[in-house]
């Protein structure tokens, strides 16, 4: 079927440049994380909680605006118990001045209010979250390596795990570069990026496997190129619909989901790129060949698979 089509774009022609770009990006991201670090949000750092008693119920949005124009960056304003009591949580560390400053800033507009208390508050997530999540992430990568190694081939396993690490590191690097706030919602976004990127990588890998078994001509680079070409419109459509949602969230969603959307936008773009230029690229570099996927029948573990994988029988009956 490839004969009747126009000549596919030579995706793999850029593989050397892409390798350099990817490595440079990852190195830069790691350096940024080491030097600047992440700007952790209120969820992770804790800070100060200030309780204020107003004489008349204030409009919370005005309180937020006043605090913002007074130069505070990360804060949460909530009604507390009654509509005249306001609780402000902020990332600044606790000291006597801070509470007084906040009170002064808020009463500047002519509001009658009184400082009830101000106290240090700890982080919202325990240390075990960092440890468990880190460990969980490593185990997840190992399991993906093993599963894909079994279902496809070991080289595919490597080619699906490396892009995941690549994507996560780059997203974190961008957050470190711009010092955007990294909070729990961004952590969730990061996990979604892993899911998305993995999905994308496997779909491309699946087509590569299929073509290796089907196409009798051409070297591995040609076959991989052809596979990417065949899946490119699917890749663009899926990324497109996802990005449409994300841009809507980013531009209209307000500050509460800004960073969430931002992390995902970067993640989806990088994830799409990495399934072609990291995953497929690695397959070429690892020298994946037809023999890796077509094992003579009745031999070895991988030989259980037929030459072209058939969908299960129950699906054919559908």
Partner 1 sequence: MLNKYPLWKNLVIVIALVIGFVYALPNVFPDDFAVQITGARSSTEVDQRILDRAVDALEAKGIEVKESELQERDALIRLNDAESQLRARPIVQEALGRDYLVALNMAPSTPEWLESVGAGPMKLGLDLRGGVHFLLEVDMETAVDQRLEAMSGQIKRELREERVRYRGGDVEGNRSIVLSFRDESSRSEAFDLIRDQYNQFLLDEQTEEGEYLLVLSMSEAEVKSIQDYALEQNLTTIRNRVNELGVAEPLVQRQGADRIIVELPGVQDTAAAKRVLGATANLEFRLEARQDASSADIETFPFRDNPNREARLEREVIVTGDNVSNAQQAFDENGQPQVNITMDSVGGDLMNRATRNAIGRRMAVLFIEYRTETEEVVVDGETRTVDNRVVEKGIISLATIQSALGSSFRITGLDSIPEAAELALLLRAGSLAAPMYFVQERTIGPSLGQKNIDAGMMSVLLGFVLVLCYMVVYYRGFGVIANIALTLNLMLLIACMSILSATLTLPGIAGIVLTVGMAVDANVLIFERIKEELKSGIPPQSAINAGYSRAFVSIFDANITTLLVAVILFAMGSGPVKGFAVTLSIGILTSMFSGLMVSRSIVNLVYGGRQVEKLSIGGKLANV
Ranges within 271-290 binding partner 1 (CB under 8 A): none
Among residues 246, 266, 270, 284, the one that binds partner 1 under rule CB under 8 A: 246
Angstrom distance (rounded) from CA 33 to CA 180:
12
Only segment of 29-37, 73-81, 98-106, 166-174 that touches partner 1 (CB under 8 A): 73-81
Only segment of 58-66, 107-115, 282-290, 295-303 that touches partner 1 (CB under 8 A): 58-66
Scan residues 127-146 and list those touching partner 1 (CB under 8 A).
128-129, 132-133, 135-137, 139-140, 143-144
Residues binding partner 1: number (CB under 8 A): 87
Angstrom distance (rounded) from CA 187 to CA 193:
10
First-to-last CA distance in the chain? 26
State in angstroms the smallest separation of the CB of 20 from partner 1.
28
Among residues 222, 253, 289, 294, the one that binds partner 1 under rule CB under 8 A: 253
Angstrom distance (rounded) from CA 50 to CA 74:
14
Look up tokens 């998305």; give the residue.
Answer: 196
Among residues 26, 148, 158, 228, the one that binds partner 1 under rule CB under 8 A: 148
Angstrom distance (rounded) from CA 210 to CA 111:
70
Only segment of 8-16, 21-29, 97-105, 307-315 that touches partner 1 (CB under 8 A): 307-315
Asked if 70 and 34 touch (Cβ cutoff 8 Å), the reply is no
| Tokens found for residue 218 | 């051409």
Among residues 264, 280, 282, 284, the one that binds partner 1 under rule CB under 8 A: 264
The separation between CA 163 and the C-alpha centre of its own chain, rounded to angstroms, equals 12
Does position 318 interact with partner 1 (CB under 8 A)? The reply is: yes
Residue 139's region, left for phi above 0, alpha for psi from -120 to 50, else beta, is alpha
Look up tokens 């570099």; give the residue.
Answer: 285
Angstrom distance (rounded) from CA 89 to CA 124:
12
Rank residues 39 and 227 by Cβ distance to partner 1 and give the closer one.
Answer: 227
State in angstroms the smallest separation of the CB of 298 from partner 1.
23
Scan residues 205-224 and list those touching partner 1 (CB under 8 A).
205-207, 210
Does position 196 interact with partner 1 (CB under 8 A)? The reply is: yes
């Amino acid at each position: 079927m490839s004969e009747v089509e126009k000549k596919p774009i030579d995706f793999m022609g850029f593989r050397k440049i892409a390798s350099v770009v990817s490595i440079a990006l990852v190195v830069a991201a790691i350096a940024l994380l080491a030097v600047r670090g992440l700007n952790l949000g209120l969820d992770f750092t804790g800070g100060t909680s200030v309780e204020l008693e107003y004489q008349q119920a204030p409009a919370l949005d005005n309180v937020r605006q006043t605090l913002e124009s007074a130069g505070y960056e990360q804060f949460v304003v909530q009604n507390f118990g009654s509509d005249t009591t306001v609780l402000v949580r902020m990332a600044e560390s606790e000291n006597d001045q801070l509470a007084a400053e906040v009170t002064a800033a808020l009463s500047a507009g002519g509001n009658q209010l009184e400082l009830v208390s101000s106290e240090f508050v700890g982080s919202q997530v325990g240390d075990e979250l960092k440890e468990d999540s880190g460990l969980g992430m490593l185990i997840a990568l190992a399991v993906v390596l093993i599963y894909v190694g079994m279902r496809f081939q070991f080289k595919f396993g490597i080619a699906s795990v490396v892009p995941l690490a690549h994507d996560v590191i780059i997203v974190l690097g961008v957050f470190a570069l711009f010092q955007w706030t990294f909070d729990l919602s961004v952590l969730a976004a990061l996990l979604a990026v892993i899911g998305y990127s993995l999905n994308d990588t496997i779909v491309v890998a699946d087509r590569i496997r299929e073509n290796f078994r089907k196409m009798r001509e051409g070297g591995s680079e040609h076959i991989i190129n052809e596979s990417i070409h065949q899946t490119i419109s699917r890749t663009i459509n899926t990324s497109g619909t996802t990005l449409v949602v994300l841009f809507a969230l980013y531009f209209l969603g307000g500050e509460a989901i800004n960073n969430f959307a931002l992390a995902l936008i970067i993640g989806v773009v990088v994830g799409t790129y990495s399934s072609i230029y990291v995953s497929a690229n690695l397959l070429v570099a690892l020298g994946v060949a037809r023999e890796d996927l077509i094992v003579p029948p009745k031999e070895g573990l991988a030989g259980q698979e037929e030459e072209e994988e058939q969908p299960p029988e129950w699906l054919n009956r559908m």
